[in-house]
Structure 1
Amino acid sequence: TNDNNARFSAVIMAGGFGSRLAPMTNSRPKPLLPVFNRSVFERILDLLAENGFNCAAVTTMYLPEQIEAIKHSRINLSFFRESEPKGSAGAVRALAELLDEPVLIISGDAVCEFDLKKQIENHKQKKRQATILLTKTKKPQEFGTVLVDKSTNRIMRFMEKPSWTDTVSNQINTGVYILGKSVIEMIPDNVFFDFGRDLFPLMMKKGVPIYGEEAEGFWCDIGSFGDFYDCNMRFSDNKSIFGIDCTISENAKIESSILFEGVSVGSSVINNSILCEGVSVGDGCVIPDGCVIAANCKIGDSAVLSAGVRIAHNIKIGKGTRIMGNVFLSSARHLFGDEGINGIYGSEIDGELCFKLGQGLTSFGKPAKIGVMNDGSETADLLSDTIKVGVRSAGGILHDFENGFNELAAFAAYEYSLDCCVFVAADSSGRENGISIKMYEKNGVGLCREKQRKAESSMRERMSAPKTIFAPRTLEGEERAKFRYCKYLQEMTGPLGGVSVSVFGKNEQSNFFKSNAEVLGAEVSLVDDLKKADGDAFVFNSESLSALTSEYLDLDFWQLFMLAAQSGGRKDLYLPQSTPEFVENYLSSEGINLFFYNDSESEERIRAFETHFYTDKILLALLVCRFLHENTIMLDEARQFLPQYYLKSVVVDIEDDDRADTIGTLAAECEDCSRGVRLRDDKGSYSVFPRAEGGFRVFAEALSSELAEELCDIAEKKIKGEK
């Protein structure tokens, strides 16, 4: 609805689904979630009124009738309902003829207390076309981060919801924009277009300046259960909040909880939990920390929930029931670490999670092609079977592979053009009941951040029954993954006549190397003691590859990589941003072009399989043999050609709440953050990357092991704020 003569200097974006907050948002849109008994949307209207606005345009889509029913005493509202998603920028472009200049764009689902009037005046005074209001956060991986030139406030770089590894700033985009008419006109008509993913990158590409201003005042996105809960507790001073028409027994014990309207509670105990509208809790129930119970659920007498349980709307929990896990989904937030999913079977990893993971991975395609492989251990076999059931139950096409190893799973993703190949294995660290679940895209590397988030989001949703349940695909004969993998290794390597090496390692990788190298003409002896090695020896362990020369000198992974990279006359390499500088400098001097990728989707990442020997240590060892064959030398002589640098890597643990501020401080000292935070010292250089699991990973490189050790100490002190 709209007065045709109205013009708007403010647009409120209120059309999102809020799927990360399901089940709370199953019955109401995210902007109408209550914060201290007033909806987020109404709080935004209050903010606009306090800053001199008297009217606003509101875009709606999900459960629009509920938002369109809201009225405000000081703001006239006109609603514009989207029949299909246009994207945040596309929705604003549809209103272009109705907008004043400049126009304020603000999210309707974030609590905000900024001085908007001050920011708009600053924007006008400096004659800008685009200003984004920023704030600092301790959780940058949940938002779009921004790197700003401190002298001009011009934005130099955006990173949309980066992984911790890619994080270089703790300043984030709040979704509050002040834009001129020329910027609005850059948005194409009738095309799905997003501010963060489309418009701002387009402006950066065209050299149109975008400025970032860090606004003073409180801001909270309420994008997770924890954020929603913490935001409410901030306003209530950590006291329980009761919506209208709640009925609470005088014998109930309710601590620091949020009860929406119409909740009834008998003589029960509720701690630090969220109960949505219409929930009924009987007598003798126990609802401990972190539970979320969706609208109109009925919790029978003496029911006991475990901490952190989520229950979907309209669910009835019977009398005396013990609820040990989520009734309808796994909480998939922060599921992925730097190396996939790792944990203890029966604790962090269980059958429910694996089933939901299988379902979540099917969001990658229509239908998605998902491969599943395991290492043959009993627990890994059991959990991989559960993933397979999840894939098929959600309509995915399952490729059921034979037992294997990481390199084989990564190859299978590429060879069979899969949307994802999952590899489940016993944890190589030797932890009792430890499980590792790695997932590979068809480029042979782990899932990009966008796919991780897509899987996590799908795991939180209730899956509808698929139209078709596909029969699993099993492979036999020359179609088998191991057969094709051997053929690939041999084609990529070529003849190795005259090469003689030993191999140490009791695993499939060492066996595959030996058998394929021998087919190609090399002489290979398998040894159980490196002292028995005759000449050069490769050492395969569960996670890496190294070598020992005939003179008992070590070659580490990167030294071997530099040799392999020079085999076969290759010109281009695609590598992760953490690649050491001395590797880059040396290979560049040899006429090889290096292109780098991070955890986000990019053209460089898509082409990563062209440098598959970075992640495949069997192929890496074979290509080192090819280099030796092409140059008729042994590792002792080859080692002399390489730069003599020393690498050291350490993990520095700090409090999770300090990580974002720390990386922001370090980034301010970095001249170029395009490949993460890399700092220099007269002793050498070191890179600092936040870890998904917590803390930081430091990579130091120097001319001696002692200097590399000193650099790690310097980095640790900087990270911990010590002098």
Structure 2
Amino acid sequence: MKAVIMAGGSGTRLRPLTCKLPKPMVPLATRPIMEYIIGLLRCHGLTQIGVTLYYLPEVIKNYFGNGDEFGVTLRYFTEETPLGTAGSVKNAEDFLNETFLVISGDALTDLNLAEAIAFHQEKKALATLVLTRVKTPLEYGVVITDETGKIRRFLEKPGWGEVFSDTVNTGIYLLEPEIFRFYEKGEAVDFSKNLFPKLLAEGQPLYGYVAGGYWSDIGNLDQYRQANYDLLSGKVLLRLPGEEVAPGVRAGEGAEIEEGAEIEPPVILGRYARVKKTARISGYTVLGDHTHIQEHVSVKKSILWDHVYVGDHSELRGAVLGHRVHLKSRVSLYEGVVIGDGSTVGNRSLLRPEVKVWPEKYIESGSVLSNSLIWGTRWCNSLFGNLGIDKTFNQELTPEFAARLGVAYGSLLPEKARVVISADNSRPARTLKRAMIAGFLATGVNLFDLGIATTPVARYALVTLGADGGVHLRVSPRNGDGILVEFLDEKGFAVSRDLERKIEQRFFTEEYRRIAVDRIGEVFYIPHLLERYLEGILSATSPQQIRNAHFKVVVNYDRGILSLLLPTLLRALGCDAVHHQLLEENKDEAGPKSLKEILAVLDEIGGRVREEQADLGIVVDNNAERLILLDEKGRLIQDEQFVALIAFLVLKYTEHSTVPVPVTASGIIEELS
């Protein structure tokens, strides 16, 4: 009799472990799941085996080869597109010219296949489904049979109100080659969902055999951990790798346990694994091939794959670590943590329960990780950069991340404190603003929602409203896919480094203020804010003098919020404004200009200044914080001239007698003072 192993599964529910590995290659007690299946088939005399492949097929082929090393002969059949369980087996039709057994390559079982084969032959069935009894059948296909074993009914993944049997489909089938007459090659067909119900409806001889023994489909990460524990405890009647070196302790070739290390069974060590003195390995732990455990490490109920390094004084509790994971010193991993292949965790880092880290990530030293790390390549132990928090939208800076920022900042402010919040006109910034609002309100903080604004408008509103702090979100000036979150103090300035550290500490430790339902904060909206802002600008200048001069200016600015501010301001000042747009007319959302864009537009504006015989050329960035000026001949006013001009205006038209300037400023500044 021949057999077919269905090994095309991607194991989506086992991610991040299966990001780079097909599910049949996920290791149990240091060996791939499929290796146990091949061993089970070989023990029952099934050595001619076909293997259907789809996801990462070369990984399986490279490991098992032609099967000689495992005492069987393997032949591979690769799907180009997903065809379902029956569709994939149809690809092996020419190979399957006699009664054959179909089995999943990503389930763990010790069922007695010989008894199932004998039952199938006795009943002269077209198809026999191997069934098993489970306590909770909700996640499986339920099958009901009569007293002879003939199948009477199927039900896929029922609710509790639909459960009529505890016997479920294991995905192991005994089939006659005539079954291929009931569907076409290349057709997407599933055994349990399509083919078997069709055969039942047509009255074909379809039987179910209820087998005793162990079976787990390893459908999620909890079941994966439990399957390892069951193997170690002897609950599964399969031979484990290595040799028993002490009661309940198995070790592969070259494994080393230094004197002074403590090993509490059951434990299995892979080939050339090493446990150094003073380390403690507690029961139900798997150490993969070439895994190194340093001194003063404590590992409990954890599954470590191959080439893992665990630095000194680290603690692991119920964690799963993929291939080549590197933990530095004093790392703490709590129950349910899963780290994908090739990731590194820095010194003194802590990963909270159920955190998942996708492959090839780097977690900086001192980090506290409370949420899964899926996107990006690094996790920093600090949030703030030079301007605020600047991260890629929906990868590093997600809505849930933004909500936690709101909770962290809000927890540092008194209840009923008043915070100003605003965003630029980009959809990512506005989306994250809404998430932050939820976080603030949950701490009992009240919000002034300014809607769409610039950072200067937010600063003005914060001061005039007497708010306790503020947040403005805008497109990152360094990354068009990023969002910059600016935190402002009660004076409208960027918050101090000390407050930044406090926000980071609350964010990472999750020491948030939790309030009662009746103390949730409120949101207030400020009408006519832009008009009041413009009035504030005009009141701080001498508008009549400017009007009397009848200036003509060529101005360039991004569309969006500035289109509501700048034209109105120039009209109020009596300026004849010639508008020069950099952005296309149909572009609704303005991101920051790049240096290349700015340099390209300066020549155009300079030419336009000369053409229009204007007095001045002006370029304003999308946040109204960067200003570039050109003189009446279209020449760029250089940095040193610009600094001197600002210093002159401050000294002449304000009460300030001191002006801070860069150390590189021209000596003309001293003459002005």
TM-score by length of 2: 0.48
> Which has the higher relative contact order, 1 or 2, with Cα contacts under 8 A spaced 6 or more apart?
1
TM-score by length of 1: 0.45
